[in-house]
Structure formats: C-alpha cells, structure tokens
C-alpha cells in the first residue's frame, strides 16, 4: 500500500497509509464521534464535499453490507482513520472510488479541528503524485463551505415512488434524504413519494403530509427552497429534519449560522423544553439555527444552545435538527417519525 497524507488549510500535515481508492480529493475536513455506522456515514448525502475523520479507533471491523447504505453511492470525499479494521472495508472504499487513509493521528486531528474549526483540506492517496506544499497551495484556493448550495448535486432529478401503497400519503422533498428516513416513514404504513429539491408547493399540497429532508451545505443560499417551504405553511402538515429544520427556521423568520466544527455523531444530548427530558441523538450538520427563546422552540442543544426543534401548531409545521431515524444512532428520538405519521393519518 502507498503512503498518503491529509493537509489542512492551516498547513498541518497528517501522514498515513492509503487503503482506499487512488486520487486526490478536496473538501472540508470534519469529524464524527459515532462509534459505529461508518458505511452509513460515508453514504449519507449530508457529507457531500467533506473529508470525514472517524474518532472511533478502529473502522471497518464489522465489514460492509449493501443494506447499510444511506444512498446509492458515497458522498463523503474521504475516510480518515486511525486503524483499518478489515480488508472488506478497504475493498469497498476502493470499489466505490472513495479515498481512505489510515494510520492517521486522528486524536490530534480532531483536537485541531475543535480548536480551529472545520477546515478546507485535501486527502492525497499517493504522496508521489502531489507534494504537501503544492497541496496546501491548492487547498487555500478552494471555496469555503459558507455560501455553498449543495442540494442540487445530491437531490433526485425526478420524482419517484418509494412506497406505492399505504396511508397517509407522504411527500418527501429530497435535499439529500437518507434511505433510513424513507424506510422509517413506511414502517407505520405511509405511502411515500420522493420529490426533487425544486418541487413547488402546488406539487406537494395535495399530499397528506410533507417531509423536508436532511441535506448538505449552507441553507442560506437556498432561497427558492425556502420560498417553497413558506408557500406550504398552513396548507399541509410539515415535518422538517436537519436541513429541512433549518429551512423551516428561515421560512419563519429565524436565522442560521455556521458552527465552528459542527455536530456530527451519535451521542449528542438535546433538551426537550416542555418535558425537561434529555434525548441522546444522532446528528450531522455544520450549520444551525441561532439560539432563541421563542415559544415555538421545542428542543435545544445542551452543547451550545442552538435550536434543535420547532413546533408551529397554527401552521401545522414542526421540525427537528437531529435525526429521528437514527441511521445509525440511539433510538431516543425514534417515536417522533411514527407519531407524526399517525397524527397525519388522523
């Protein structure tokens, strides 16, 4: 195996061993604290344009399986690991064109990202193809994540039926939806149709309910998507998840901002304001809704006070920043999707 390396925009170089596909990939270096779910992570469209560092000390130790994919292909640009856990995972990375580097000092890398924030970076599978100095120069020429509208590159190009029979009839607006969200909607019996991110309110208003999915990038440039959400308010029950939550916030007068290093992992504590209960949740987002004491705020992050949920009864709209489908992650929030489907069914 060849020697590879990672270069952050601050000039820090992390050397390791290339265990995946060949190539040089640019993106935002981020980390996830989830101890499992490596295949789900790299196939989650919310990781588009990102180089993912795993804090788990060994990655790939329980192999791979087709049913674990959250989409049809990887969306992360690279997998950065302390120790490769098995040849099957390395073969999967190579077969799917994903750069993988292990023997990286992931502890130091994570501390660097916590202190300096998520950074532009490059992962180089073969150090013979590009020097660290040239790589750094190219990294600093890359665009920042702020201002990037990425949903068009991960959204379905055309509407499709995921589950034809059932009740209620749910439309999912695909900003980068995970398959586990679709599966969780069908478990209580819903019929599910998926629409591209460009769907207009008129296409969606005849459904019994609309889910605004997760997705990558900055929500603020998504003006047309925000206007579409605003056009749905009060017309049909809405449930926003992750990016969908942020778009609901923008559509109702709230603000979003970029987090220093994001919330990514399966152990994020969230306070349910009404009950005082704390949910341990799965999260994956680099942008958040600005903290607020507004009455519509239902959940808040216990890490930084950012808004983790809304409920607008008069508009029949609610949302959560975390992932209630838990793919992967703890099941504290599992009932949210099922209860919403039951409410929509009436």
Closest CA to 177 of 77, 251, 259, 284: 284
- 242, 245, 268, 308: which is the annotated catalytic residue? 242
Buried b (16+ CB within 10 A) or exposed e, 232-261: bbebbbbbbbbbbbbbbbbbbebebebbeb
If phi > 0 it is left, if psi is from -120 to 50 it is alpha, else beta; for residue 202 that is: alpha
Angle, helices 179-186 vs 335-345, to 10°: value is 50
- Please compute Rg for the chain using Cα positions: 20
- 245, 263, 285, 323: which is the annotated catalytic residue? 323
Tokens of 152: 């068009």
How many angstroms separate the most distant Cα atoms in the chain? Answer: 62
Alpha carbon distance 124, 211 (integer Å):
38
Q: Check: CB of residue 283 under 8 Å from CB of residue 308.
A: no
Q: How many helices (H) and strands (E) does the chain have?
A: 9, 17
Provide CB contacts within 8 A for 234, sequence distance 6+. Answer: 314, 315, 316
Residue 296 known to be catalytic = no
Provide the strand spans (E) within the chain. 3-8, 13-18, 24-32, 50-54, 78-80, 99-102, 119-124, 160-163, 169-174, 191-196, 209-212, 238-241, 256-272, 278-289, 297-301, 307-312, 317-320
- 40, 103, 225, 325: which is the annotated catalytic residue? 325
Residue 323 known to be catalytic = yes
Residue 158 known to be catalytic = no
Indicate which residues carry an active-site annotation: 242, 323, 325
């Amino acid at each position: 195996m060849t020697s590879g390396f990672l270069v952050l925009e601050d000039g820090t170089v992390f050397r390791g061993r290339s265990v995946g596909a060949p190539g040089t990939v640019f993106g935002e270096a981020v980390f996830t604290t989830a101890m499992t779910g490596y295949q789900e992570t790299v196939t989650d469209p919310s990781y588009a344009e990102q180089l993912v560092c795993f804090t788990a000390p060994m990655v790939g130790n329980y192999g791979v399986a087709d049913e674990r994919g959250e989409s049809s292909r990887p969306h992360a640009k690279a997998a950065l690991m302390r120790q490769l856990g098995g040849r099957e995972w390395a073969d999967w990375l190579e077969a799917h064109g994903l750069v993988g580097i292990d023997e990286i000092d992931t502890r130091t890398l994570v501390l660097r990202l916590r202190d300096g924030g998520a950074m532009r970076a490059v992962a180089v599978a073969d150090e013979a193809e590009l020097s660290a100095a040239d790589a750094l120069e190219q990294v600093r020429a890359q665009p920042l994540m702020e201002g990037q509208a990425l949903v068009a590159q991960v959204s379905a190009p055309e509407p499709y039926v995921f589950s034809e029979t059932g009740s209620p009839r749910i439309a999912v607006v695909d900003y980068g939806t995970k398959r586990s969200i679709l599966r969780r909607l069908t478990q209580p019996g819903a019929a599910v149709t998926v629409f591209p991110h460009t769907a207009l309110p008129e296409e969606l208003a005849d459904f019994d309910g609309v889910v605004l999915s997760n997705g990558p990038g900055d929500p603020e440039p998504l003006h047309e998507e925000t206007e579409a959400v605003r056009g749905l308010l009060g017309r049909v029950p809405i449930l926003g998840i992750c990016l969908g939550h942020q778009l609901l916030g923008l559509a109702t007068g709230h603000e979003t901002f970029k987090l220093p290093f994001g919330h990514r992992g399966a152990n994020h504590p969230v306070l349910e304001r009404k009950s005082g209960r704390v949910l341990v949740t799965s999260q994956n987002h680099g942008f958040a809704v600005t903290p607020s004491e507004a009455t519509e705020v239902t959940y808040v992050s216990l890490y930084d006070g950012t808004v983790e949920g809304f409920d607008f009864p008069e508009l029949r709209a609610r949302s959560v920043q975390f992932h209630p489908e838990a793919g992967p992650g703890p099941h504290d929030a599992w009932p949210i999707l099922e209860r919403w489907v039951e409410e929509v069914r009436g």
